């Protein structure tokens, strides 16, 4: 996981994904679909009310180095994570 300040200079486009408004049963599928749709350099800013540690493990397993994970805010009730799609050879 990178510090968000280290990633900011390479950002080209950022899309907000507020998981709080999506039914729990659809969240993971929607998140994976959104990440699959991003191009290198694009960022999905994920907003949630709890720290999604199992989801982060699934993303790391599925995407590997293609998706960088960086916390922007990590406090009770306010979790903001930038998922940055990296150009991987």
Measure the CA–CA gap between 86 and 21, rounded to whole angstroms: 27
Question: pLDDT band for position 63 (50/70/90)?
Answer: very high
Q: What is the DSSP string of 10-57?
A: G--EEEEEEGGGS-HHHHHHHHHHHHHHPPTTEEEEEEESS--HHHHH
Residue 84 pairs in a beta bridge with 43, 68
Nearest by Cα to 29 from 74, 62, 71: 62
Q: Quick: pLDDT tens for 9-58.
A: 444 689 999 999 999 999 999 999 999 999 999 999 999 999 999 999 99
- Listed as own residue / partner, the contacts of 18-23 with beta carbons closer than 8 Å and 24 or more positions apart are 18/47, 18/48, 19/46, 19/47, 19/48, 19/52, 20/47, 20/48, 20/49
Residue 47 pairs in a beta bridge with 18, 80
Q: Quick: pLDDT tens for 69-88.
A: 999 999 999 999 999 999 98
- Predicted confidence (pLDDT) at residue 64 exceeds the cutoff of 90: yes
The pLDDT score that the predictor gives to residue 88 is: 80
Class of domain 4-85: alpha beta
Ordered by start, the domain boundaries in the chain are 4-85
């Amino acid at each position: 996981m990178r510090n968000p300040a280290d990633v900011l200079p390479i950002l080209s486009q950022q899309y907000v994904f507020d998981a709080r408004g999506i039914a729990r049963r659809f969240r993971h599928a929607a998140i994976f679909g959104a990440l699959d749709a991003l191009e290198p350099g694009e960022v999905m800013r994920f907003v949630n009310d709890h720290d999604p540690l199992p989801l982060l493990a699934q993303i790391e397993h599925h995407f590997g180095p293609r998706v960088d994970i960086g916390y922007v805010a990590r406090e009770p009730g306010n979790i903001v994570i930038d998922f940055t799609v990296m150009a991987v050879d």
